[in-house]
Structure 1
Amino acid sequence: MRSKYASLFLILVSFASCASIKKSAIRSLADMLSSPDGAGVFTSDDDPKLIADSMPLALKLYEILLSYDPDNAGLAASTGRNFVMYSGAFVQMPADMLSDEHWREGVAARRRAKKLYRRGRDYLLQSLELRHEGFLHALESGDYDEAMMRLEKEDALSAYWGGLAWLGMAVTDPLDMELSTSLDKALLLLYRAMELEETNPGIHSVMIQIQLSLPSALILTMRERSPNTAAYMDQYYRDVGVSEEARKRAFYHYYRALSLSKNQDPGPHITMATAVSVKEQDAEGFKDYLEKALAIEPDADPETRLMVILYQGRAQWLLENIESFFLDIH
């Protein structure tokens, strides 16, 4: 894989020095890389180290293409998603698993992860602006309902990854107060993504974290600034018969994520272990969730093979370090 991207990279560099390069050729290559098949090159692989080593070169390839075709909304979205995936899987996650004696490396890695999340978020927001001129102005000026009204079903994935990147920035730097005051926009994107494509299992995993880990005041702020989103939330939970209690909503999203993924996604189990079991100091529940994550067969769904392997590595690390999360385990 690395040689494939290296070849493409060299071709583009040589093309860049040739005045006869045609935008149609760039667009064809961009469309190939931003297609589901292009993304599948990463997500279906069974060798995390190979992908970790290959992705930086691939990311720069995406950026070179985007510089030649800046109005390509699909390419901007794909570039953003890949930056977010790389930051989460290969920068933040390894940093979170470093031992205490490597805290300096952890701090540096989280700082890098935040920058990569920001770059990914900005490309995703750029893609939404390219599809809907005026979206960014409405979002930044606080006209949340106007901004969200512009988004359509085809924008659900970009809204989801954009919100995810925004939250990722906050997780890697919780002391950034300026960033924390903008997180209502991240929630707004995520709830709009759920409204547009509720069958995305990933959105429900994120909702577990939102219900249990984010300050309720942040959700209230978002609701006040976006009456349409508040109305959607209220109607959604009424329709599925779930009360306003955050814990009940978290469990609802957990089971919804498992149902939609056909129990092939370890993410919801890991989220419940860290967001529920640790908070409640339930060591047995913690182990049960993580064992369920580890029981999933990575090859059951080739399209998600890589993420299953990565999440299972995280689950195994959590089990091996269980004493770090529970007071009564030594």
Structure 2
Amino acid sequence: MAPPPSTPPALFAQARRLARVLLVPLLALGLCACAPRQLVLGELADSLASQGQSAEDDPDLARDAAPFYLKLSESVLREQPGHLPLSAAVAGGFTQYAYAFVAFEADRMEATDARAAARLRARAAALYRRGRDHALRALEAARPGLRHQLETQGSPSPLDKKMLPSAYWAAAAWGGLISLSKDDPDTVADLPVAIQLARLAWALDPAYGDGALASLMGSFESARPGGSPQQAQAYFDEALRQGAGRNAGAFVAKAEGLAQPAGDKAAFVALLQQALAVRDAPGSPMNLSNTVMRRRAEWLLETADDLF
């Protein structure tokens, strides 16, 4: 099972904005030399979290800028592990980077260099784990004992609204990690826990991410043992409804999560063609994720004969 290809506003920061972000704590220190270290770090964490939501429509620029943004944000997050907005930005950044630029490259390379593809998948799995752990750490700080509750209780207590983005990205990264860990029974055994976390997010806001959370729920339902194809279809259809034709990833998710396992090539092709037809308004926060997903749709169409 892959992580949801449809995402909330792109979490890859633009490189040219990072210099301005870095000036925030320096300016604060210059204006008040006695400013507490944690206050300055908190301001930097807020700035990095907001930069993580910046729109970007150039996947290659996003790919090149993301490592610097992620490393900087990760170092700040280690000092502010309970900062929920930054944890969501970092977890989302690692998840999207792993999916769009590492795991996808592995998929495309599989036919020509299986060994290199395996190395890339191992790297993608490590990135998914890294993003998941950052989000889980922040959730645990906000709700001590949450992971234990997820693992041992049928119905943990509801999450606070402020925990929703981190919960979504923790679940999405977890799904990506599980999808690349078929030979690791302990990781695969975490699938019910990841699903439980996604359900807690769903209980807070089923419309989160303009179809992103609904796509995640559909992917989980189609992947879990004993999952209901009918329920998975309901989730995917809800994702399409919420996306309102603006979310290319919702079409790709349904194609890979429902049509492909069912062996329905006609539906698979039709959904991917609909993904390719999605056009973005200038400045749309969906530009980057839609561009990435249209690239995946094109590749899936090119390889459709090998998949069916």
Band the TM-score falls in, shorter-chain normalisation? 0.7 to 0.9
Is 1:39 aligned with 2:52? yes
SS of the aligned residue for 1:252 comes to helix
The 5 A counterparts of 1:206-225 are 206-216=216-226
> What do you get for the CA RMSD once the two structures are aligned?
2.6
CA contact (8 A) 2:259 2:265 kept: yes
The aligned counterpart of 1:166 is 174
CA contact (8 A) 1:135 1:150 kept: no
Give the Cα separation in 2 of the matches to 1:150 and 1:255: 25
CA contact (8 A) 2:84 2:163 kept: no
CA contact (8 A) 1:83 1:116 kept: yes
The aligned counterpart of 1:302 is 284
Larger radius of gyration: 1
The 5 A counterparts of 1:141-156 are 142-145=152-155, 148-149=156-157, 151-156=159-164
**For 1:277-301, what per-residue CA distance to the aligned partner results, in whole angstroms no more than 9, with x for missing partners?**
3233332222111110100003377
CA contact (8 A) 2:85 2:165 kept: no
Give the Å deviation of 1:314. 0.2
Q: Give the TM-score normalised by structure 2.
A: 0.85
The aligned counterpart of 1:183 is 191
The 5 A counterparts of 1:1-330 are 1-5=14-18, 22-35=37-50, 38-41=51-54, 44-140=55-151, 142-145=152-155, 148-149=156-157, 151-200=159-208, 201-216=211-226, 246-299=228-281, 302-326=284-308
Give the Cα separation in 1 of the matches to 2:190 and 2:89: 24
> 1:19–1:62: structure 2 CA closer, same or farther, 3 Å change rule?
farther
CA contact (8 A) 1:264 1:300 kept: no
Q: Which has the higher helix share?
A: 1
Give the Å deviation of 1:215. 1.4
CA contact (8 A) 2:248 2:293 kept: yes
Q: Percent identity?
A: 29
SS of the aligned residue for 2:286 comes to helix
Q: Give the TM-score normalised by structure 1.
A: 0.79
Give the Cα separation in 2 of the matches to 1:302 and 1:210: 28
Give the Å deviation of 1:9. 6.2
Give the Cα separation in 1 of the matches to 2:81 and 2:46: 13
> 1:10–1:276: structure 2 CA closer, same or farther, 3 Å change rule?
same
Give the Cα separation in 2 of the matches to 1:73 and 1:247: 34
CA contact (8 A) 2:84 2:162 kept: no
SS of the aligned residue for 1:175 comes to coil
Give the Å deviation of 1:313. 0.2
Give the Cα separation in 2 of the matches to 1:300 and 1:7: 24
Give the Å deviation of 1:25. 2.1
CA contact (8 A) 1:205 1:254 kept: yes
Which stretch has the larger CA shift, 306-315 or 59-68? 59-68
Give the Cα separation in 2 of the matches to 1:169 and 1:274: 17
> 1:169–1:194: structure 2 CA closer, same or farther, 3 Å change rule?
same
Structure 1 unpaired stretches of 5+: 220-245
Give the Cα separation in 2 of the matches to 1:12 and 1:176: 42
CA contact (8 A) 1:294 1:315 kept: yes
CA contact (8 A) 2:129 2:173 kept: yes
Q: Which has the higher contact order (CA 8 A, sep 6+)?
A: 2
Give the Cα separation in 2 of the matches to 1:70 and 1:282: 45
